[in-house]
Amino acid sequence: MAANQTKKDEQVCCVKLQETDLGLETMAEAPLIKGVSWEIGSGEFWVVGGMHRSGKSTLLSTLGMLQKPLSGRMELFGVNPWGADGANLMKQRLRVGMVFEAGARLLHKLTVLENIALPICYHRDCRLDEARERMDELLKFAGIEDLTNELPGELSRTYRQRVNLARALSLSPEVLLLDNPLSGVDLSEQQWWQDVVAKLWQGHAISGNKPMTIVIVTNHLTPWVEQGRNFALLHDKSWRQIGGMAELDACDEPWLRDVLGERKMTE
Amino acid sequence: MRFYLDMVGRVILGMVDTGRGLGAFALITLGTTISKFGAAKAVIRPQIRNQIFESGLKLLPMIAFLGLALGFVIIGQTVALLTSVGAHEYTGPVMVAVVVRELGPLTTALIVLARVGTATVIELGMSRATGEVEALEALAIDPIHLMVVPRVIGQAVSIFALTIYLILIALVSGYLFIMVQNVPLTPAAYADQITSALTWQDFVLVALKTLAFGAIIAVVTCYQGLAQPLRLEQVAAATSRAVVVGTIGCVMVDAIFILLFLLV
């Protein structure tokens, strides 16, 4: 335990939330999640489980700096991204990649290649052909080399999801946020995602061989339950940080069965 | 009675709200244009070129047709009227006053609003409704810089260029009508009438007006599509709102320019 604490202290804290209430700014009086206090260390793997409408996407949007916490304090890499200097927000966003649910939010008028290249070309001010080498790496990593000229509307949900991943990785972020990546994909595709996320966490050439910090929100925890990962739950507007796999197994919340599915029931 | 007062109040408040939102959006766009001038050239410049193609080059056949029609109609009416009072030497000045100063810029602006402005609201409204704008923000890409600034620049340049084409075509087609009507006016005399009627203020007026129209149309349509959270079913309503607000904006700016022109 003490060793774990020392290891944690040595880690750089990527994200820190202190007593934050999360939700829509237009409905500030009715937060979706209350009292989130959470520290995500560099290189950690977090899986947050919750049923539909429990605020998972809101939590992820807050971590991705698309939504401001309604109250409390938030820090990313030791900096308040919502501080007075707007440049901070942009700088911090470059360090976080987001994979949206169901392969959504790709730019519908751009091809697969252009979607993935856009962040690189925009931030490095280069033409598409100048970013070609990085593009090829990303396309190969996501297994979508043959789809470069397709429009997102012509792709199945499975491939749109992969394009989303390639786009999120294009700027080599340090933190990768995934919103329900296994939702609506078949079993072989689920395996692909589990393998790919595990590789990224351990450090892969696509992210400069550096282990990435991973945060997944899901309504089905079981595929992600493995040693070395951290778990938290969202239920009834509240946040509950569980801990590792042992703590998850020991957790006796009756509604945990809903997000664990067959795993908890077979025990 | 109270119901009608409430309704009028809501309409007025709605107009004030739209005006305030548009003003803020225009200032944000101006700020972004200045602060990010020259940034991400490799992405922004092709976007501007694409806008000039979509809102300029693609509309050229339609503008040419309208220019022909405008020349025929105005000259047709003017010649009939002026010949009846023996004053056909005023044909040129009338063309300058009507086509160059007024109808040319305004007609072009309204055509761009109808053809390109509506498409802009639909496109940006869909992007907003499907979360593409948030995706850009997540990638640290400023949506105003990527989606609005190229439209403002592209549409301002396009309306300026299209207006020049429309005016030239209308002036030429006007003379064709004069020839058909056997009015005793030589091409040289017609050209002389027009050049004598033109002043330096006309050139400045056309340039400023068309650039302002382009900026207004782009800001209004982008504001309606982008600046507020939209659901897919709200895109159609946002499009008609954009046409109404854009038309009112262009007519108001036109009126201001007329006043300024008369004062100078």
Express each pLDDT in A221-247 by its tens digit. 888 887 778 888 888 888 888 888 887
Q: How far is CA A243 from CA A33, A41, A163, A257, in A?
A: 19, 13, 32, 17
Of A119, A125, A126, the CB nearest to B139: A119
Interchain CB distance below 8 Å, A66 and B140: no
Interchain CB distance below 8 Å, A126 and B42: yes
Given CB atoms, is A61 within the 8 Å cutoff of chain B? yes
Given CB atoms, is B188 within the 8 Å cutoff of chain A? no
Nearest to A42 by CA among A210, A241, A253: A210
pLDDT reported for residue B146? 94
Identify whether B34 is part of a domain.
no
In chain B, residues with a C-beta closer than 8 Å to the C-beta of A160 are none
DSSP states of A38-82: EEEETT-EEEEEE-TTSSHHHHHHHHTTSS--SEEEEEETTB-TT
- Rounded CA gap, B98 and B94, in Å? 6
Of A96, A105, A122, the CB nearest to B131: A105
Lookup: tokens for B168: 């030239």
Order the strands of the A71-76 sheet from edge to edge: A71-76, A13-22, A33-41, A238-243, A230-235, A45-50, A213-218, A175-179, A96-99
Please tell me which residue, B16 or B231, carries the higher pLDDT value. B16
ipTM summary value: 0.85
- Rounded CA gap, B206 and A136, in Å? 49
Among chain A residues, CA nearest to B146: A122
In chain B, residues with a C-beta closer than 8 Å to the C-beta of A104 are 130-131
Given CB atoms, is B119 within the 8 Å cutoff of chain A? no
Size of interface A-B (CB pairs under 8 A): 66
Given CB atoms, is B135 within the 8 Å cutoff of chain A? yes
DSSP type of residue B56: T
Given CB atoms, is A93 within the 8 Å cutoff of chain B? yes
Among chain A residues, CA nearest to B126: A108
Among chain A residues, CA nearest to B135: A105
Identify whether B63 is part of a domain.
yes
Identify whether B52 is part of a domain.
yes
| Closest CA–CA distance from residue B38 to any residue of chain A (Å) | 10
Instruction: Looking at B113-199, list the stretches that DSSP marks H as alpha helix, in order from N- to C-terminal side.
Output: 118-129, 132-138, 143, 149-180, 187-197
Q: Are A104 and B133 in contact (CB under 8 A)?
A: no
Given CB atoms, is A96 within the 8 Å cutoff of chain B? yes
Lookup: tokens for B145: 């810089």
pLDDT of A262 > 70? The answer is no
Interchain CB distance below 8 Å, B42 and A108: no
- Rounded CA gap, B148 and B261, in Å? 30
Of A122, A126, A138, A178, which to mutate for an interface test with B (greatest number of B Cβ within 10 Å)?
Answer: A122
Q: What percent of chain A has pLDDT over 70?
A: 89
Identify whether B32 is part of a domain.
no
Tell me: the pLDDT tens digits for B45-90?
999 999 999 999 999 999 999 999 988 888 777 777 777 777 777 8
Identify whether B24 is part of a domain.
no
Tell me: the pLDDT tens digits for B161-195?
999 999 999 989 888 888 887 777 788 888 888 88
- Rounded CA gap, A105 and A83, in Å? 27
Given CB atoms, is A171 within the 8 Å cutoff of chain B? yes
What domain range is B130 assigned to? 46-263
Q: What's chain A's length in residues?
A: 267
Quickly state the pLDDT bin for A1 (edges 50, 70, 90).
very low
| Total tally of structural domains belonging to chain B | 1
| Closest CA–CA distance from residue B189 to any residue of chain A (Å) | 52
Lookup: tokens for B40: 């991400």
pLDDT reported for residue A111? 94
Please tell me which residue, A88 or A223, carries the higher pLDDT value. A223
Q: Coil, strand or helix: which one is B99?
A: helix
pLDDT of A76 > 80? The answer is yes
Q: How far is CA A18 from CA A64, A216, A217, in A?
A: 16, 20, 19
Of B126, B135, B140, the CB nearest to A94: B140
Identify whether B14 is part of a domain.
no
The mean of the pLDDT values for chain A is 84
Interchain CB distance below 8 Å, B135 and A64: no
